[in-house]
Amino acid sequence: MRAGIDLVHVPCVRASLERFGERYLSRVYTAAEIADAGDDPVRRPERLAARFAAKEAAIKALGLADIGVAWTDMEVRRAADGHCTLSLHGAALRQAEALGTDAIALSLTHDGDYAAAVVVVERRDRPFS
């Protein structure tokens, strides 16, 4: 197993939304993530910050920093029961497959000015190098 964790300051995400708007959203988040964040001016930055933290945690857990993946190659999906999962696309998916990834667990949280995420990656039959 391998884990990644990240902490995001919600006011930084709020500032990016105000300064860059749609350009920021489309560069970092998928259409589904943007829709899932909603329009509430308080909850939207919190939800987006948690998703950003998840992407950073995934980069750490999967060793993606030197590969050059798009932010949208990692997508947080929320089920009807509120449980979130991490879905990979493009270069992130190829790296996960190359590592022999069996499962990815995701946990998100946000409280006040901070959002955090933990990603745990399980590989089949061989230790991480």
Domain positions in the chain: 2-123
Kindly tell me if the per-residue pLDDT of 128 is higher than 80: no
Are 114 and 7 in contact by the 8 Å Cβ rule? The answer is yes
pTM more than 0.75: yes
Mean pLDDT of 15-29: 97
| Catalytic position from the list 9, 55, 60, 89 | 60
- Give the integer Cα–Cα distance in Å for 78 and 63: 24
29 DSSP assignment: S
For the question of residue 110 being annotated catalytic, the response is yes
Are 7 and 38 within 8 A, CB to CB? Answer: no
The pLDDT tens digits of the residues spanning 39-49 come to 999 999 999 99
Average pLDDT on 20-38 reads 97
pLDDT band of 127, cuts 50, 70, 90? low
Outline where DSSP puts E strands in 22-129: 74-78, 84-88, 101-111, 114-123
Domain 2-123: assigned CATH number: 3.90.470.20
SS3 at position 82: coil
Rounded-to-integer distance, Cα 95 and Cα 11, Å: 32
